[in-house]
Amino acid sequence: MSLLDIAPVVPVVVIDDLETAVPLARALVAGGLPVIEVTLRTADALKAIERIAAEVPEAVIGAGTIRTPADVAASVAAGSRFLVSPGSTPKLVDAMEASGVPFLPGVATASEVLALAERGLTEMKFFPAEAAGGLPYLKALGGPLPDVRFCPTGGIRLASAPDYLALPNVGCVGGTWLTPADALATGDYARIEKLAAEAAALR
């Protein structure tokens, strides 16, 4: 199954405290969102991926903010089952293709989409979604590029997610609203599970 078809929303997670990784992942899975993207924006991100991969096997754990071939190698070694990049360069896409795991290369323009389509890639991350044109832009891309599907991420919330998901070229959306900083700080995983359940019900 395609990454884009497993769940309507992919939680985009920033983990500052390693001890929150496993209970956070369990709450998201319990709420119906098994695909989890841990961004490589903190010192403990790779360790968090390792822990989730080892202790929450029902989660489809992946790494986001992939920027270099070294990020690709480290993420796969940590147990990432997919990779997501904020943008795409030939060198980075080469490394992600060689990794052997599914990946969503980041795009923000029609030319970037075409460059990846020339390589035979048809599933991409549209980022930063709202800042790069949002719904109207993705709808416009669907005309000349009907065979390409996206996971838009960046500025999307529960209220706007259904509009994105209604587009035929959107498989899922990425969102940070599922893991509020205050909920993580207080260990309110019941709240996170509830937010995940609301998002899972979008499809």
Three-state secondary structure along 44-86?
A: CHHHHHHHHHHHCCCCEEEEECCCCHHHHHHHHHHCCCCEECC
Does any domain span residue 3?
A: no
Does any domain span residue 188?
A: yes
List of the chain residues with pLDDT < 50: none
**The total number of structural domains that make up the chain:** 1
Does any domain span residue 51?
A: yes
Question: Which of 19, 37, 118, 130 is labelled catalytic?
Answer: 37
Domain that holds residue 197: 9-201
Across 108-118, b (16+ Cβ under 10 Å) vs e yields: beeebbebbee
Does any domain span residue 4?
A: no
- Answer for the pair 40, 66: CB distance below 8 angstroms, yes or no: yes
Q: For the whole model, what pTM was predicted?
A: 0.97
Does any domain span residue 1?
A: no
Question: Which of 112, 125, 130, 139 is labelled catalytic?
Answer: 125
Does any domain span residue 193?
A: yes
Tokens 């209970």 correspond to 23
Quote the pLDDT of residue 203. 84
105: preceding bond cis by omega (within 30 degrees): no
Sheet of strand 60-64: strand arrangement:
103-104, 83-84, 60-64, 35-39, 9-13, 173-175
Does any domain span residue 55?
A: yes
Does any domain span residue 196?
A: yes
Q: Please, what is the end-to-end C-alpha distance for the chain in angstroms?
A: 16
Quote the pLDDT of residue 122. 98
Quote the pLDDT of residue 139. 97
| Mode of pairing for the β-strands spanning 106-107 and 103-104 | unpaired
The CATH number given to whatever domain includes residue 155 is 3.20.20.70
Quote the pLDDT of residue 1. 75
Is 125 catalytic? The answer is: yes
